[in-house]
Amino acid sequence: MTDAPHTTEPPTRGTRVRLRPHPGSDVMDLALTGRVAEVEDVREDLEGRRQVVVTLSDDPGRDFTTGLGHRFYFSPEELEPLTGQTDTARVLVAGIGNVFLADDGFGPATVAALLEWLPQVPAGAHVADFGIRGMDLAYRLLEGYDVAVLVDAAPRGGTPGDLYLIEPDLETVASAAPEAHGMDPVRVMALAEALSEGESLPRLLVLGCEPLVRMTGDEPDVDVGLSEPVRDATGRAAEELRDLLPRLLRDPATRLETEAEGR
């Protein structure tokens, strides 16, 4: 991938850039020369100068909202937008679930499989394992995405390993009680709405899998690892996400064969 000429206009949120700190910058900034990052925000300092907030594309801790050490500030002149970017939509794929509760780890396992299959995450897409970090996910949902696909275990009475693509009713989201420490997709969306201060939220899709082993977290022992039918389903789910991503990036409002929430 080649780089475009420098720009003094702040790039928009979600733009991928290459870091080019000025000579004489802080040694920590200089150590990031040439690294690829994604724009998270544009802010002004006390003297009115614009500062672009970025996270490194290959930083596994970039989704820790409270992790200040994972965010860096540069002037617009120190950024080179990567060429080949188009005005596509922005799509978040988030694996959620507790890997210590058997099949509840379906979401993290599927995201890991998807990242192994993708030679490169498409521009405009962000794929991450949020585990049980509900607050981090809620804040990430406020980052200007057009669509969020949450990948989770979803007991709906089917055969273990069955996959469901669900689009929750917005009225269900609006009536749900926010929960800062839970990872139920609708409650996380409700938490994001409570934090949004009027900002628009992304379209919500849930790719769920029927679990075989369901745990509540009150058991005396943990159970690491997926049951056989759910483990087999992670590959099919990753393939479905790989096919779904380009469609959502082209048109975030594209009609999909989804199931109504509450079946």
User: Under a CB-based contact definition with an 8 Å cutoff, are residues 82 and 58 in contact?
Assistant: no
Looking at residue 191, its pLDDT comes to 85
Single pTM value for the model: 0.73
Correct CATH for 91-260 of 3.40.50.1450, 3.40.640.10, 1.10.260.40, 3.40.50.1010: 3.40.50.1450
How far apart are the C-alpha atoms of 174 and 251, rounded to whole Å? 25
Looking at residue 2, its pLDDT comes to 47
Of 42-56, 58-72, 104-118, minimum mean pLDDT range: 58-72
For residue 226, give every residue at least 6 positions away whose Cβ sits within 8 Å of its Cβ, in sequence order, or none: 102, 103, 105, 106, 109, 234
In the chain, where the domains are located: 16-81, 91-260
Predicted confidence (pLDDT) at residue 177 exceeds the cutoff of 70? no
Predicted confidence (pLDDT) at residue 3 exceeds the cutoff of 80? no
Instruction: Read off the pLDDT of residues 185-239 as tens digits, 9 standing for 90 and up.
Output: 878 888 888 888 777 889 999 999 999 998 776 767 777 889 999 999 999 999 9
Residue 91, class by beta-carbon neighbours within 10 Å (0-12 exposed, 13-18 middle, 19+ buried)? buried
How far apart are the C-alpha atoms of 173 and 186, rounded to whole Å? 5
Q: Following DSSP, what letter does each residue of 49-103 receive, concatenated?
A: -EEEEEEETT-TTTT-TT-GGG-EEE-GGGEEEBTT--S---EEEEEES-TTBGG
